[in-house]
Structure 1
């Protein structure tokens, strides 16, 4: 393990407060856990996630991301996912840093920089020393909070620049470009998230993304690892799980609330996704004290 990574682990450990710590540095969050977790659903936001210690898997559609110490991934499109911490203990807790993507900042950098060519959208990469060092200087600001207003914006820009230079830079280019394919797909995913409980017309979504049907299907699958219909179903089930925790015992009503016309179909698909029928899964989560919304980064 590099000296830089060891220092990052020490700093993150000193400043972590619970499972998820939103630091005083804008857009920087620390994730920490002393225990492995069962598979837990979450909605990934545009974020660069760097794992410092421990291991983690994230299932998005039919693709699995495998994180180990020192690896990172850029989530360029909001997508429902299932995350699981594999290695975490009291003596060696899982720790990670999350950097919320500022699209305007990326767009500004693109004026002077052309990022790397596109690669596989669903592979984690090992952070090089330049990226780790930028993160180290950023986290040092937690011990000098009076310097944050001046230095944090410069370091945010450097981290974004290092990400653009790396193997996942192509995703950021497409995300920040108004006519890039990820920007176009985000229009469609935003519409689905806002109307997840309504029927969707894929032809209309393709038009919204300014693509042909065939091109829209291809780029949507490349960005999210699922079809538009699968994406909507994942959102429905994710929202249903939240509602079931808040309203125990109301599985049938929750099914209709999230857009299902058949309670039995909802129960089948929910069981397939989460391993238990709706009522039993909600009871298990409540007994465990697991709030899905508190999924660790």
Structure 2
């Protein structure tokens, strides 16, 4: 005799099942490494997990092209003048290197924040795009190079297997590339594929601006003129300035300043550089000007910020 739907109870949707599976998988990964909260490394470069039992103060950092997934809780990100919020089973996709401010806005001891960051290999994304029989048409909008989207069942399944793979380091070299290709495919085939594909296509405004960003990154401690950046991007200065701000939500000079100050923080934390040395190494001629701009960006003086940041790193990295 057939069993009725009423006796079976409501069926769980694939997205709901994958959400539960992903949550269980990430929690298991953390517990196998001692539990608690913090940043948890994986054997895969560019892939890490964070768990937090409480909301956190805003944290400035450099975002590489990456997929940032919230499994549980919620987070807020600011790039320049733009603010983005995303919660459980949503993801943030960043398609070029950007300085930003991240803040965990929903977390508790009973329902901690759980998130993953997965960095992209642009060459791999380009290969996957070329193999899709009906590739997405790149968006012609000049909007920001970041977007928030849903983590659907296909993408969630790939992420689950990626986290499980982290538990078998010997298999990473063989299986990691294929799972990353799957993740790239689901993003390209999804509702935001038109935005995501701009990451890999040549001669788009995003790709041209990215060339200028690489120049800024490699010469952050040197004076760089907008005309030089525009020439690198193959654009007129006015067009370059317009597209740079549309994509990054900041001007080229604002971008360089944030890049310099983030690198200065790294030097003081990782290399134990003093304030004057860090200022000089990132391109400042005046230590007092450096301290003023540092305090304006991070909210406190350099020495105090370094102490706070070291404490934050001690809380988490393992």
Alignment of 1:99-114 (within 5 A): 99-111=118-130, 112=132, 113-114=134-135
Determine the C-alpha separation between the residues in 2 that align with 1:249 and 1:143. 37
TM-score (norm: length of structure 2): 0.81
Judging changes above 3 Å, is the alpha-carbon distance between structure 1 residues 178 and 36 closer, same or farther for their aligned structure 2 residues? same
TM-score (norm: length of structure 1): 0.86
> Any conservation in 2 of the 1:175–1:181 contact (CA below 8 Å)?
no
Q: Could you tell me how far 1:177 is from its partner in structure 2?
A: 1.8
Q: State yes or no: 1:240 paired with 2:264.
A: yes
Equivalent residue for 1:266, pick from 273, 277, 290: 290
What is residue 98 of structure 1 aligned with on the other side? 117
> Any conservation in 1 of the 2:65–2:120 contact (CA below 8 Å)?
yes
Alignment of 1:221-236 (within 5 A): 221-236=245-260
> Any conservation in 2 of the 1:32–1:94 contact (CA below 8 Å)?
yes
Give unpaired runs (5+ residues) of structure 2.
1-14
Q: Tell me the SS of whatever aligns to 1:196.
A: coil
Q: Tell me the SS of whatever aligns to 1:261.
A: coil
What is residue 161 of structure 1 aligned with on the other side? 185
What is residue 205 of structure 1 aligned with on the other side? 229
Q: State yes or no: 1:290 paired with 2:312.
A: yes
Q: Deviations over 1:96-148 (max 9, x none)?
A: 12222122222122223422653653442222233223323444445677765
Determine the C-alpha separation between the residues in 2 that align with 1:92 and 1:279. 34
What is residue 2 of structure 1 aligned with on the other side? 16
What is residue 65 of structure 1 aligned with on the other side? 84
Equivalent residue for 1:14, pick from 21, 28, 53: 28
Determine the C-alpha separation between the residues in 2 that align with 1:7 and 1:88. 19
Determine the C-alpha separation between the residues in 1 that align with 2:180 and 2:271. 40
What is residue 275 of structure 1 aligned with on the other side? 299
> Any conservation in 2 of the 1:116–1:166 contact (CA below 8 Å)?
no
Q: State yes or no: 1:128 paired with 2:152.
A: yes
Judging changes above 3 Å, is the alpha-carbon distance between structure 1 residues 273 and 295 closer, same or farther for their aligned structure 2 residues? farther
Judging changes above 3 Å, is the alpha-carbon distance between structure 1 residues 260 and 115 closer, same or farther for their aligned structure 2 residues? same
What is residue 136 of structure 2 aligned with on the other side? 115
Q: Tell me the SS of whatever aligns to 1:124.
A: strand
